[in-house]
C-alpha cells in the first residue's frame, strides 16, 4: 500500500500572521525604504502571489502594521492614564507602561519611533500622524499638573516643554536598548526624578524664567 503525504496548507489567518511578523522584523531593522516585498515574502515563507493576496502593496502592509502597533501602544497608555489614582502615581504608571511597551515589543517601538522616518511622502504622512497622536496622549499625562503649575499648555513654551519630555523618553529608550541589563524600574525612577520633580518644582514657583515670564498663564 502506498502512503501519500502532502504539505498541509496553512489557514489564511496563519499565513497573514507569518507575513506580519516577517514584515515587522524587516521594517524595524531596515526601515521602510530598505525593505522589499520580496524579502518579506521570503522571510515569511510565502510566494509573492500569496503575499499580494493579503496586502496589495508595501505601503498597505506598512500602514496596517503601523496602525496595529500604534493601537497597542495607545492601549498601554490609556489603561495607565485611566487609573483613579493621585497624579504622581498616574504619571509613574504611564511612564512604566511606555517603557514596558518598548521592552516587550521592541520591534513595534522601532517601527513607531525609528531613527529615520520614512522618506516616501504618503507613508511619512501616515507615520507622522500616528506618532503625533501618541505624543499627544503622553503630553496629556502631564497636562493637568502643568496647568496647576501655571503653565499654559497651548503656549509656545508649554508645547516646547512637552516636546522636550517626549524627546527625553524616546532617547531614554534608545539608551536602554544599548544597555539591556538595566531594569525597567530603574528607568522609571530616573524619568520620575527628572519629570515629576521638574513639574512639582514649577508648581512651587521654582522656575528658571524670571517671574515666570514665558509660561503663558504666568506671564
First to last CA, the chain: 92
Cβ–Cβ contacts within 10 Å for residue 117, how many? 14
pLDDT digits (tens, 9 = 90+) for 29-84: 999 999 999 999 999 999 999 999 999 999 999 999 999 998 888 887 877 777 67
CATH 1.10.10.60 in the chain, residue ranges: 10-56
Q: Confidence band (pLDDT; 50, 70, 90) for 89? A: confident
Q: Confidence band (pLDDT; 50, 70, 90) for 206? A: low
Q: Domain 10-56 maps to which CATH number in 3.30.70.20, 1.10.8.420, 3.40.50.261, 1.10.10.60?
A: 1.10.10.60
pLDDT of residue 218: 40
Write down the pTM of the prediction.
0.78
Q: Which of 60, 45, 43 is nearest to 10 (CA)?
A: 45
What is the C-alpha to C-alpha distance for residues 185 and 164, in angstroms, rounded to an integer?
Answer: 21
Q: How many distinct helices (H) and strands (E) make up the chain?
A: 9, 0
Q: Report phi then psi at 44, rounded to 5.
A: -80, -15
Question: Which region, left, alpha or beta, applies to residue 214 given φ > 0 means left and ψ of -120 to 50 means alpha?
Answer: left
pLDDT of residue 22: 96
58, 36 Cβ separation under 8 angstroms: yes
140, 78 Cβ separation under 8 angstroms: no
Q: Confidence band (pLDDT; 50, 70, 90) for 122? A: confident
Per-residue CA distances from 205 to 4, 93, 192, 199, 210 (Å): 81, 26, 19, 10, 11
What is the C-alpha to C-alpha distance for residues 40 and 51, in angstroms, rounded to an integer?
Answer: 8
pLDDT of residue 141: 65
157, 215 Cβ separation under 8 angstroms: yes
What's the fold here for domain 59-212? Answer: Tetracycline Repressor; domain 2 (1.10.357)
Whether pLDDT at 144 is above 50:
yes
CATH 1.10.357.10 in the chain, residue ranges: 59-212
Amino acid at each position: 500500500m502506498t502512503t501519500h503525504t502532502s504539505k498541509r496548507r496553512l489557514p489564511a489567518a496563519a499565513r497573514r500572521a507569518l507575513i506580519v511578523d516577517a514584515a515587522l522584523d524587516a521594517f524595524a531593522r531596515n526601515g521602510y525604504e530598505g525593505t522589499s516585498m520580496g524579502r518579506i515574502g521570503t522571510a515569511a515563507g510565502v510566494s509573492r502571489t500569496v503575499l499580494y493576496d493579503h496586502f496589495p502593496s508595501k505601503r498597505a502592509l506598512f500602514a496596517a502594521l503601523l496602525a496595529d502597533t500604534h493601537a497597542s501602544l495607545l492601549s498601554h497608555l490609556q489603561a495607565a492614564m485611566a487609573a483613579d489614582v493621585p497624579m504622581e502615581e498616574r504619571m509613574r504608571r504611564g511612564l512604566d507602561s511606555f517603557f514596558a511597551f518598548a521592552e516587550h515589543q521592541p520591534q513595534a517601538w522601532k517601527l513607531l519611533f525609528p531613527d529615520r522616518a520614512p522618506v516616501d511622502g504618503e507613508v511619512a504622512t501616515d507615520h507622522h500622524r500616528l506618532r503625533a497622536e501618541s505624543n499627544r496622549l503622553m503630553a496629556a499625562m502631564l497636562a493637568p499638573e502643568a496647568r496647576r503649575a501655571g503653565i499654559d499648555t497651548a503656549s509656545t513654551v508649554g508645547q516646547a516643554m512637552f516636546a522636550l519630555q517626549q524627546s527625553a523618553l524616546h532617547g531614554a529608550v534608545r539608551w536602554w536598548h544599548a544597555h539591556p541589563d538595566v531594569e525597567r524600574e530603574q528607568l522609571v525612577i530616573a524619568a520620575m526624578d527628572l519629570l515629576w520633580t521638574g513639574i512639582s518644582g514649577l508648581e512651587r514657583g521654582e522656575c528658571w524664567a524670571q517671574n515666570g515670564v514665558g509660561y503663558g498663564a504666568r506671564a
